[in-house]
Amino acid sequence: MSMDLFLKILIHLCLFVGVLCAHQVSWLPCQFIDEDVFKNDLGLIETKHIHREALLQFGQKGDAPLNPHAITYLVTGSKLDLRRYVEDVEAEQLECEIRRYSTQGIHVRWPVKGDQEYNHWFTCTLRHIQDLFTVTSFLRQPSDQPPSGEQDYLSWTAIEDGEVLTTTVAMVTKTRSPLVKAGLGSQQKLHCQFAVDHKGPDVTVEWHFLFRGEKSRLFNHSSRTGQTKGSGVGVKSLAGGDATFTIPFIKMSNEGKYICSVSVNPLFSSLDVNLHVEESPRVSLNVEPTLSLLVGGEQKVICEADSYYPLDVEIVWYAQDPSALGQRVGAPLPKVLQNILLSSHKHNTDRTYSLSAFFYLEASLSDSGTQFTCSVSHQSLRVPIRKSFILMVEEPTSWTFYLMVGFIMVILLVVLLWMLSHLNSAKRRSELKKPY
Q: Which pLDDT score is estimated for 90?
A: 87
| pLDDT over 50 (residue 22) | no
Contact (CB, 8 A) for 86 and 176:
no
Helices (H), 158-262: 235-238
Contact (CB, 8 A) for 230 and 218:
yes
Contact (CB, 8 A) for 50 and 36:
yes
State the first-to-last Cα distance of the chain, in angstroms, to the nearest integer.
142
Please, which residues bridge with residue 245 across strands?
190
H or E segment and range at residue 214:
strand 214-222
HSE-up of residue 371 (Cα within 13 Å, Cβ side): 15
Mean pLDDT of 105-134: 87
Please, which residues bridge with residue 171 across strands?
138, 196
Q: Which pLDDT score is estimated for 213?
A: 87
Distance CA 308, CA 2 (A): 59
Q: Which pLDDT score is estimated for 412?
A: 86
HSE-up of residue 17 (Cα within 13 Å, Cβ side): 6
Mean pLDDT of 164-175: 97
Label each residue of 255-269 as H, E or C: CEEEEEEEEECCEEE
Going from the C-alpha of 51 to that of each of 71, 91, 269, 336, the distances in angstroms are: 12, 20, 22, 50
**pLDDT tens, residue by residue, 268-294:** 999 999 999 999 999 999 999 999 999
Query: What is the residue type of 377?
Result: S
Contact (CB, 8 A) for 100 and 119:
no
CB neighbours (10 Å) of residue 422?
10
Going from the C-alpha of 152 to that of each of 311, 415, 426, the distances in angstroms are: 47, 119, 131
**pTM of the model as a whole:** 0.79
Distance CA 173, CA 193 (A): 6
**pLDDT tens, residue by residue, 230-268:** 999 999 999 999 999 999 999 999 999 999 999 999 999
H or E segment and range at residue 6:
helix 3-16
Ordered domains of the chain (ranges, CATH): 3-277 (2.60.40.10), 282-394 (2.60.40.10)
| pLDDT over 60 (residue 354) | yes
DSSP at 295:
T
**pLDDT tens, residue by residue, 70-98:** 999 999 988 999 999 987 888 899 999 99
Of 132-146, 265-279, 394-408, the range with the lowest mean pLDDT is: 394-408
In terms of Cα–Cα distance, which of 248, 236, 259, 253 is closest to 177?
Answer: 259
| pLDDT over 60 (residue 130) | yes
In terms of Cα–Cα distance, which of 98, 97, 85 is closest to 132?
Answer: 85
